A and B are shown apart, each in its own frame.
Chain A
Amino acid sequence: MASRHHSTTLAQMPLFAACTDRERRQIAALFDETAVPAGTVLVTEGELGDQAFILIDGTADVSTSGEYVATLGAGDLVGEMALLDRSQPRSATVTARTDVTAFVVDPRSFEQLLTRYPRVSRQIAAALARRLRAAS
């Protein structure tokens, strides 16, 4: 069953490490899965966003104003800032460096993630705190 496979995948990700198995099964049901070839633009700087991604396999490059910023890989969350702060446009462009498989998170699923799974929202907050420290 797709959900069980998803749930195993989530167990390997730091974002969901503090969740119970039961929570991971519930969370897995929130996501669709997508596969895109290398070169695909996942999110575009300046656009309003309506989805986030959680990388399962492959890597993606982040750039701001055309300048390379970082490379993301399995377990990383992509495009969440636009879902946290919906009035603002995407702050960066993220492009698949290799072929990528990822979970797709729509706004309603993301809201459920934040509201129903505080261990996950805490991890998301922690990741943002780390990035804020790096940016200062």
Chain B
Amino acid sequence: MSRKTKLDLLREVNLFALCSDKELKRLESLVDEATVPAGTVLIREGEVGVEAYVIVTGTATVTLAGERVGALGPGDAVGEMSLLDRQGPRSATVTADTELAVFVLEPRSFNKLLDEHPGVSKQMAIALARRLRAAEHAPTF
């Protein structure tokens, strides 16, 4: 996979949307690549987990209390809130429909990124504030 493509995918992750190229390049060097078979549960609702994933190829289904609530594909992040909220349980279950190629971001790598690029924390806070505003104002039916 070309380095440009990896960088572009990471840039699409909402949490890192405001990061500079330099910060994203460091993030790129810190993520691992993995392939998981169809049927793999990436994250499980209610469990405490600490890694985050970005889907590179393939699709996955999101379920909540057994009910399908969404679909994920290339460019979508999974479990990234756990990088910041370590103790909180995963809010949904994500299961691979097909074989997935993923980036894996471990907490230790995430910490390294934050230590070396302190500005990332501020970028993430702003991205989260925007998302939170949208989430809290979403109409409920």
Contacts and interface: CB of A to CB of B under 8 A. Distances in A.
Interface residues of A, number: 24
6 contacts: A88-B130, A91-B133, A121-B121, A128-B129, A133-B91, A135-B135
A126 B83 CA distance: 9
Interface of A: 64, 80-81, 84-85, 88, 91-92, 114-115, 118, 121-122, 124-126, 128-133, 135-136
B4 interface: no
B114 A132 contact: no
B114 A122 contact: yes
Contacts of B46: none
A84 B137 CA distance: 17
Contacts of A91: 132-133, 136-137
Contact of A135 (B84, B85, B121, B132): B132
Nearest to A64: B136
B81 A88 contact: no
A80 B125 CA distance: 10
Contacts of B9: none
A64 B133 CA distance: 11
Interface of B: 81, 84-85, 88, 91-92, 114, 118-119, 121-122, 124-126, 128-133, 135-137
Nearest to B82: A129
A88 B125 CA distance: 15
Nearest to B135: A135
Most chain A Cβ neighbours within 10 Å, of B85, B92, B125: B125
A128 B119 CA distance: 17
Contacts of B137: 91
A132 B131 contact: yes
A132 B81 contact: yes
A135 B136 contact: yes
A128 B121 contact: no
B97 to A, nearest CB: 21
B81 A114 contact: no
B133 A85 contact: yes
Given A84-B125, A85-B126, A136-B91, A125 B133 contact: no
Nearest to A84: B129
B129 A85 contact: yes
Contact of B132 (A121, A122, A128): A128
A125 B128 contact: yes
Contacts of B85: 126, 129-130, 133
